[in-house]
């Protein structure tokens, strides 16, 4: 029993030593052959370019997917939400699928849709912000006659409001 344990330890130690030795050789090799290392990198880059030929590549939508996935991963570092990791992985897979896709027209269409939705999203917030800014200075009333929204300045006391749509007058406290 003890013999077996020692043997196991021995094997582990030998393996560990060999691994370190291998790493040292590799570091030494790359240090001695910087040029060759660079050449290998260039070759890899060339291979990748060949692989990407006729494929869609990156766009705004893919970048958005990537950043969204990264954000989810960062969040999971602080808050443990198991679903976020799966979602991040799914987003990354989808991102790579789009990059390597050969159906360029379809991917470009998706990107166009994404940009459109993004613009709508931004517009919505801009409009909301405008409205919030106006709420400080104005009060909004509905005309009792035609339900038209009327904007009046705040803090003027009781005032007579003239409806621009149906020309009805009504009195409110502003």
Nearer to Zn ion, 27 or 146 (CB): 146
Of the candidates 98, 94, 111, the one whose C-alpha atom is nearest the C-alpha of residue 57 is 98
149 binds Zn ion (CB under 5 A): no
143 binds Zn ion (CB under 5 A): yes
What are 115's two structure tokens? 């940009």
Q: How many CA atoms lie within 13 A of 102 on its CB side?
A: 3
Measured CA to CA, the distance from residue 154 to residue 150 in angstroms comes to 12
Of the candidates 27, 96, 100, the one whose C-alpha atom is nearest the C-alpha of residue 62 is 96
Stretch that binds Zn ion, among 11-19, 75-83, 130-138, 142-150 (CB under 5 A): 142-150
Interface with Zn ion (CB under 5 A), residue total 8
146 binds Zn ion (CB under 5 A): yes
145 binds Zn ion (CB under 5 A): yes
CB of residue 164 to Zn ion, shortest distance in Å = 8
Measured CA to CA, the distance from residue 106 to residue 100 in angstroms comes to 13
166 binds Zn ion (CB under 5 A): yes
74 binds Zn ion (CB under 5 A): no
Name the residues that contact Zn ion, by CB under 5 A: 143, 145-146, 148, 163, 165-166, 168
């Amino acid at each position: 029993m003890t013999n077996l344990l020692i043997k196991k330890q021995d094997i582990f130690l030998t393996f560990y030593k060999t691994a370190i030795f291998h790493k040292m050789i590799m570091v030494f090799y790359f240090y001695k052959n910087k040029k060759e290392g660079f050449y290998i990198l260039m070759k890899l880059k060339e291979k990748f370019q060949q692989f990407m030929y006729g494929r869609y590549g990156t766009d705004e939508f893919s970048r958005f997917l990537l950043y969204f996935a990264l954000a989810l991963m960062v969040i999971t570092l602080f808050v443990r939400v198991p679903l976020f990791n799966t979602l991040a992985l799914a987003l990354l897979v989808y991102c790579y699928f789009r990059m390597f896709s050969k159906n360029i027209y379809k991917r470009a269409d998706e990107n166009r849709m994404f940009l459109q939705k993004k613009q709508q999203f931004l517009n919505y917030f801009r409009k909301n912000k405008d409205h919030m800014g106006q709420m400080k200075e104005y009060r909004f009333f509905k005309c009792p006659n035609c339900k038209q929204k009327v904007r009046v300045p705040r803090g003027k006391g009781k005032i007579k409001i003239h409806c621009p749509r149906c020309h009805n007058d009504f009195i409110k406290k502003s």
